[in-house]
Structure 1
Amino acid sequence: MNPIQEYFYRIDEPERSTLLFLRKKILESDTENITETLSFGLPFFKYKKKMLCYLYYSKKHQQHYISFYHGDKLDHPLLLQEGRKKFKILLIDTDEDLPLDFILNLIKEVKQYIK
């Protein structure tokens, strides 16, 4: 098992399945340019080798989240900045449907700032 798989294996269900589904959809959204690495012990997604987003767990909110680089340029009420300079986060509630289209649209928007 590689380190990225180990990261997800340590997460309990139903969060694991939700995050694995999200991971798959992010990678499939641009198979040529989006790659996955493990940085700081977290799964990072990169666009053309530059930071795009990552997955992590918020102890404060007791939820997993996706954090978007260039989040400071994104304007949406569901995104939380909470003192971060370049990132904003979107909390992932496993009791509700995953807002996949919204997440993929945010990724498209971030990619525009990377180009």
Structure 2
Amino acid sequence: MKSEDLFYETQLPVVKECLLALRSMILAQDKEITTAWKYGMPFFCYKGKMFCYLWFHKKYKLPYIGFVEGKHLDHPQLIQEKRARMKIFLCDPEKELAVEDIRMLVKDALAVYKKKRIMEKE
């Protein structure tokens, strides 16, 4: 079993369902988004560039989507904390996912990459 598959399979059922739903929403936004296993966590890349990832917040004990270029995104539920570049969007697996917010954030993050602000930089 691949590390990514093992990551999802070892979660509690409600967390696994949440993470797999997030994975599905992210991948559905653009055919150029691919999965990767980086830094011991599931990453999503856009045209080979790190785009976002799924992980758990230590303090809040909730899964989240981390947006690599989150500094370019503006949404009231995004959290930057001490990160210079990334912002995160917490997801409570016990509650209904904010599907429209998540889709909008992924779409907005893609727009940053598509405008080549990121692609040309690296």
Q: Is the contact made by 1:34 and 1:48 (CA closer than 8 Å) also made in structure 2?
A: yes
Give, in whole Å, the separation in 1 of the partners of 2:25 and 2:78. Answer: 20
Shift, 1:111, TM fit: 1.3
* Matched residue type, 1:78: Q
Query: In 1, distance between residues paired with 2:43 and 2:91?
Result: 16
SS of the counterpart of 1:97? Answer: coil
| Number of aligned positions between the proteins | 114
The aligned counterpart of 2:22 is: 22
- Provide the rounded CA distance (Å) in 2 between the counterparts of 1:113 and 1:76: 14
Counterpart CA distance in 2 for 1:95 and 1:3 is 25
Q: Is residue 29–residue 107 contact of structure 2 (8 Å, CA) maintained in 1?
A: no
Secondary structure in structure 1 of the residue aligned to 2:78: coil
The amino acid across from 1:90 in the alignment is: F
Cα RMSD (Å) of the superposition? 1.1
> What residue number does 1:86 align with?
85
Q: Which runs of 5+ in 2 are unaligned?
A: 115-122
* Equivalent-residue separation in structure 2 for 1:6 and 1:44 (angstroms): 14
Quick one: percent identity of the two aligned structures?
39
Per-residue deviation, residues 68-87 of structure 1 (Å, max 9, x unmatched): 12111111110100010111
Corresponding residue number in structure 2 for 1:37: 36
TM-score, with structure 2 as normaliser: 0.88
In structure 2, C-alpha distance between the alignment counterparts of 1:30 and 1:75, rounded to whole Å = 21
Which residue does the alignment assign to 1:95?
A: 94
Distance in 2, matches of 1:74 and 1:48, equals 19
In structure 1, distance between residues paired with 2:71 and 2:86: 6
- The 2-side partners of 1:22 and 1:97 are apart by 12
Q: How far, CA to CA, are the matches of 1:40 and 1:10 in structure 2?
A: 17
CA distance in 1, matches of 2:38, 2:94: 28
- With 33-42 and 7-16 compared, the bigger mean Cα shift is at 7-16
